[in-house]
Structure 1
Amino acid sequence: MKVACVGGGPAGLYLSILLKLQDPSHDVTVHERDREGSTYGWGVTYWQGLLDRLHAYDPESARAVAEHSVRWNQGIAHVRDLATRQPGDEGHGIGRHKFLEILAERARTLGVRLEFEHEITPDALPDADLVVAGDGVHSALRTRRADRFGAELRPGRNSYVWLGTTKVFDSFTFAFVETEHGWVWCYGYPFSAERSTCVIECAPETRDRLGLGEGGEADALARLEKLFAHILDGHPLIGRAPAGGPAQWLTFRTLTNRSWYDGNLVLLGDAAHTTHYSIGAGTTLALEDAMALADALRECADLPRALARYERERQSALLSPQSAARYSAQWYENLTRYIDLPPDHMFALLGQRHSPLLPYVPPQLYYRLDRAAGRLEALRRLKRWLGPKIARSAHSRVLTSRE
């Protein structure tokens, strides 16, 4: 089978690896418009479950990923002048550049052709049995067939900026800072022995009133360094705007697609779906897309049947993380509902932000119920039963109001 993967991100590279492992005779090419090593971004997060799956699919690349990752097993939340630590599941961070380097080297070793600085346009698709659109949330290949895929982009409310820092955090770190114009907060996590990622978020009106979106990026970073001096310990924040350009504030947009394939063109990773960055699942879900597509192609000799199976399985698998991401984003958009709780209560509800029940129960009551549910099986069952019902009812009301 001849396969062309458009986009040299994690999903496209990993799919190329899996297809070559399945059958070395597959003719697989990855086309990437940017030069090699020019990736954007800082570090990505993942959890042990993904690493276990990587080991199951390709132990060699999994070992390299694990070797170059850093780990943490607790979280810390700074609220005003107080800090609260809580143990948690082991998390992993790896530099995006290193991650792509590992996957590209593994793909080359297996005989995949990697063509950098080679842009594929919708008017000149490669001659292949299967064309994989892994060209990101703004996929040109998907956009050209918008009516076929049924893409829908829903913008969030808050603004965020993706930064790096030389401060190496020892835990997954949250910091919430109150200013005269509203709250500003960050998520920080290490991805190497020298660097951490630092995502800073706030309401757009807070950003504007603090002057964080005006002038050059250097001015915005200096102001943010002052706000988060208590966690940066004198280390700088690092941006990626062109010299003299403004800080690259963004609004997250959640992408869904009604269909994931059209003929021999199939969507993968961010071209197919996005989930809010606050749940740290984007890279994991993209790699799981690659695993599912490779499995479907191996087990179904007929291409349309394979693509239909892939679409069905992944759309079903994404229901839970998409719901979690939606509620997580809403938790931050309604931060003032939780921020005045005692710090340990607030941190506990931060960990429960994916719950469909939380937005509809007073925070202190939810905290007490959650604590009690941890001790009583009957309450745990009630919580599991009631949450989705309330969420479905609320979602139906939202859809009705849009009509």
Structure 2
Amino acid sequence: MKIVCIGGGPAGLYFALLMKQHNPVHDITVVERNKPYDTFGWGVVFSDATMDHMRTWDLETANEVQQAFNHWDDIELRFKGRTVRSGGHGFVGIGRKKLLNILQARCERLGVHLVFETEAGSDDDYPDADLVIACDGIHSRVRSQHAEVFRPDIVTRPNRYIWLGTHKLYDAFTFDFQRTEHGWFQAHIYKFDENTTTFIVECPEAVWRAHGLDQADQQASIAFCERVFADNLQGAALMTNARHLRGSAWLNFQRVTCEQWWLRNRHGAHVVLMGDAVHTAHFAIGSGTKLAIEDAMALTRQFQRLGDTPDRLPEVLAAYQEERRVETLRIQNAAWNAMEWFEVCGQRYCDAFEPEQFMYSMLTRSQRISHENLRLRDRAWLEGYERWFARRAGVPVAEGATPPPPMFTPFRLRQLTLKNRIVVSPMAQYAAEDGMVGDYHLVHLGARAQGGAALVMAEMTCPSADARITPQCPGLWNEAQAQAWRRIVDWVHTQTDAHIGVQLGHAGPKGATHAPWSGPGMDQPLEQGGWPLLAASAQPYLPHGAVPRAMDRADMDRVRDDFVAATHRAASAGFDWLELHCAHGYLLSSFISALTNHRSDEYGGSLAGRLRYPLEVCRAMRAAWPAGRPMSVRISAHDWVDGGTTPADAVEIARAFKDAGADLIDVSSGQVHPGQKPTYGRMYQTPFADRVRQEAGIATMAVGAISEADHANSILAAGRADLCAVGRPHLANPAWTLTEAARIGYTAVAWPRTYRSAKPQLESLFAREKAQGAGQ
């Protein structure tokens, strides 16, 4: 084949040498705008794992790179006058110029044609090529010319950054955070050759403008950065290697994704995007070069697997796109998390966190590095941090003693102290009769109260018969129901060391429906035996559902009073914790979301208006609930529909409920509108709890796809939430909390006395599995 690579970056050069090595018959040309053995940029970073892949694909190139790279294991944080260091991270730094020079020389030895000082304007410039590799960077001309096929999505991010260098040398990947009168600046610093270090300075747009850097040229910007980081630089100068000194050198990062990665052009040549032309990853996790190198590997692998003749190109390129899309999205999602962390750290974490917790939060910013992964990397550092966290939670841990994992530290709210940070989520069981709970609920909640969680939340319980979701939902609208609940609460209090809470909620427009496993299924309206529905507006949840009546003031008074009466009954039943359900499209949620509230009175319109009635209910319940017992509010922090509630709105919602007396916000999302399109994944709702906690200044409970102790410990240790609610795993295993303690080797947790004989057996089982896994 005749192959042309437009762009002589890592992607084009590495693919050219791999493909030429695979089959020397191919005629391969790399077209580069710069001069021979000349390039621009400072150092690039990739992981030890990428180096291992390079050794597999081309040992000669990998050996040359290895001789030139700088390897380090440590990450160092400079923050608030302190220096914190953690090891075991394994990165490789190499000068971009040195890396490209190695790849250029290897290409020449293999017989690849290198054409320099040539600006390739289009794939049309090579009509006789069978394959054109468009690796012409983030501003790819080829991608732009075929935008209707590639369908790129380019998002410009708000932070500003400037890519500089210095001759001061560092022995760790260093992050330096400095506060100025207008806000925080951060520097990403790493050595990449024997005498040069990359020094990237980043800040929010507003801080950048406040310092007048939008009016500063490069030299003025460099001088400013030298002043901000003077304590770090110790007299060393910062440098730019930009090709001109006119205008600002500050940039905004652009995230690039493409729906389609390849096409056949009008000349019959196949064109495929590679590297930054098809995807970018923020420098916060240093994966841009990794992605480019691994693109080259993946495309070569498909040629090896499917054949490297022109007739095989469509199949090869389709397989390449399919293979790389999944891995690329995974890396881009991690990079996005890391990027967002740096964008908001000045607003959320820098002022609030001590250096210890700030370091942990920074290390886990991408959500790729978990709590136990940190233990593998640097056990001593993590145990030191766990010791610090435990002491902050009131657990006296002697220096050198093994500390409890974060999830097993206590948490106090008002006069209630939870023994640990795990909550059994309120999970609807649809097993009541006329609102009465019975033996099933005693067994269900009692088993989970014995399972190690600190707080067991009963399912959504209704303050009136017409507040039910289904005919099988429990209630607290009469004294008989309160007595039935008291039996369960008393059992939990006398037979376990767990606490028990109740969630009060009104189904609103989602009422009078079938249980999930009966009839047509969940959310489907009852054909008979239903009841009139209420909502903020006369809008059904499903298009074919029953139309609710828009509440008038009399309805509001009655429903509020029902909630207050149910609150008194919950207190008399002995519940330790009360939660108000204002999420998931139920009655109070229908007031909050603009998707479901179309009122023109004082209870509609702005967010403040939409919150007016739910806050009225919350205040009335708080006044009726004993002062020493905590009260939380569950909210939907994201409707996942354009025009609905956003995470920014969730902060305002949380502040309002805090002012109304809520002690904690249970941060969920979705189920407000049937057109929702959530982005699922592990711990996918935790960022909402994190944002609410930091920006609204209130304790939060994280929910959603938290299924391992590792998840919970990561969330809690990073300060993203104060409690973790675990739902479905507790359905599968009532003793989930005790099981996870054994799984991670935490043996200090207490078991119910009747079950203690099983404890050493389970702990030994997991210890053997762990030892066997380590030996493989």
TM-score normalised per structure 2: 0.47
Alignment of 1:219-238 (within 5 A): 219-238=220-239
Alignment partner of 1:350 is 2:678? no
Mark the CA change 1:77 to 1:364 in structure 2 (over 3 Å): closer, same or farther.
farther
Coordinate RMSD, CA, aligned? 2.2
2:173 aligned residue: 172
2:709 to 376, 379, 383: 379
CA distance in 1, matches of 2:85, 2:128: 54
Residues matched between the structures, number: 377
**Alpha carbons 2:79, 2:176 under 8 Å: kept:** yes
Aligned letter for 2:224? R
Mark the CA change 1:126 to 1:235 in structure 2 (over 3 Å): closer, same or farther.
farther
2:322 to 291, 312, 320: 312
2:277 to 271, 283, 287: 271
Alignment of 1:2-401 (within 5 A): 2-122=2-122, 123-241=124-242, 244-263=245-264, 264-301=270-307, 302-335=312-345, 336-339=347-350, 340-355=352-367, 356=684, 358-362=686-690, 378-380=708-710
**Alpha carbons 1:161, 1:247 under 8 Å: kept:** no
CA distance in 1, matches of 2:253, 2:207: 17
Instruction: Classify the secondary structure of the residue corresponding to 2:710.
Output: helix
- 1:219 CA drift (Å): 1.7
Mark the CA change 1:364 to 1:119 in structure 2 (over 3 Å): closer, same or farther.
closer
- 1:46 CA drift (Å): 1.0
CA distance in 2, matches of 1:362, 1:260: 35
- 1:256 CA drift (Å): 0.4
| Per-residue deviation, residues 357-381 of structure 1 (Å, max 9, x unmatched) | 5523348999xxxxxxxxxx94226
CA distance in 2, matches of 1:262, 1:51: 31
Mark the CA change 1:139 to 1:177 in structure 2 (over 3 Å): closer, same or farther.
same
Mark the CA change 1:244 to 1:149 in structure 2 (over 3 Å): closer, same or farther.
closer
Deviates further, 331-340 or 301-310? 331-340
Deviates further, 51-60 or 311-320? 311-320
TM-score normalised per structure 1: 0.89
| Per-residue deviation, residues 171-218 of structure 1 (Å, max 9, x unmatched) | 000011101111111100000110000111001121122122323322
| Per-residue deviation, residues 314-341 of structure 1 (Å, max 9, x unmatched) | 0011121111111111111211211121
Aligned letter for 1:300? L
| Per-residue deviation, residues 211-240 of structure 1 (Å, max 9, x unmatched) | 223233222111111110122121111013
Instruction: Classify the secondary structure of the residue corresponding to 1:64.
Output: helix
Aligned letter for 1:164? G
**Alpha carbons 1:154, 1:255 under 8 Å: kept:** yes
1:393 aligned residue: none
Q: Mind listing any 5+ residue stretches in structure 1 that lack a counterpart?
A: 367-376, 391-403
Mark the CA change 1:342 to 1:364 in structure 2 (over 3 Å): closer, same or farther.
farther
- 1:85 CA drift (Å): 1.1
**Alpha carbons 2:274, 2:292 under 8 Å: kept:** yes
**Alpha carbons 1:169, 1:189 under 8 Å: kept:** yes
Aligned letter for 1:93? G
CA distance in 2, matches of 1:57, 1:139: 27
| Per-residue deviation, residues 52-80 of structure 1 (Å, max 9, x unmatched) | 00000000000000000011111111112
Deviates further, 241-250 or 133-142? 241-250
**Alpha carbons 1:216, 1:244 under 8 Å: kept:** yes
- 1:384 CA drift (Å): 9.5
CA distance in 1, matches of 2:237, 2:274: 36
CA distance in 2, matches of 1:383, 1:257: 35
**Alpha carbons 1:4, 1:126 under 8 Å: kept:** no
CA distance in 1, matches of 2:32, 2:342: 35
**Alpha carbons 2:217, 2:249 under 8 Å: kept:** no
Aligned letter for 2:236? H
CA distance in 1, matches of 2:56, 2:353: 43
Mark the CA change 1:214 to 1:131 in structure 2 (over 3 Å): closer, same or farther.
same
- Fraction of identical pairs, as percent: 37
CA distance in 2, matches of 1:15, 1:116: 17
Deviates further, 62-71 or 314-323? 314-323
CA distance in 2, matches of 1:384, 1:86: 16
- 1:153 CA drift (Å): 0.2
CA distance in 2, matches of 1:206, 1:166: 27
Which of the pair has more CA radius of gyration? 2
CA distance in 2, matches of 1:364, 1:65: 45
Mark the CA change 1:133 to 1:242 in structure 2 (over 3 Å): closer, same or farther.
closer
| Per-residue deviation, residues 247-305 of structure 1 (Å, max 9, x unmatched) | 41000010000000001000010111001111100000100000000111122131100
CA distance in 2, matches of 1:99, 1:121: 25
- 1:126 CA drift (Å): 4.6
Instruction: Classify the secondary structure of the residue corresponding to 1:41.
Output: coil
CA distance in 1, matches of 2:199, 2:686: 27
**Alpha carbons 2:37, 2:104 under 8 Å: kept:** no
Mark the CA change 1:35 to 1:378 in structure 2 (over 3 Å): closer, same or farther.
closer
Mark the CA change 1:57 to 1:243 in structure 2 (over 3 Å): closer, same or farther.
closer
CA distance in 1, matches of 2:244, 2:133: 35
**Alpha carbons 1:293, 1:310 under 8 Å: kept:** yes
CA distance in 1, matches of 2:174, 2:692: 23
Aligned letter for 2:161? Y
CA distance in 2, matches of 1:319, 1:268: 14
**Alpha carbons 1:151, 1:257 under 8 Å: kept:** yes
Aligned letter for 1:333? E
Aligned letter for 1:81? G
2:509 aligned residue: none
CA distance in 1, matches of 2:185, 2:129: 48
1:369 aligned residue: none
Instruction: Classify the secondary structure of the residue corresponding to 2:84.
Output: strand
Q: Mind listing any 5+ residue stretches in structure 2 that lack a counterpart?
A: 265-269, 368-683, 695-706, 726-776
Q: Name the structure with the higher strand share.
A: 1
Aligned letter for 2:302? A
Deviates further, 210-219 or 80-89? 210-219
1:394 aligned residue: none
2:421 aligned residue: none
- 1:246 CA drift (Å): 3.2
Instruction: Classify the secondary structure of the residue corresponding to 2:337.
Output: helix
Mark the CA change 1:357 to 1:349 in structure 2 (over 3 Å): closer, same or farther.
farther
Aligned letter for 1:291? M
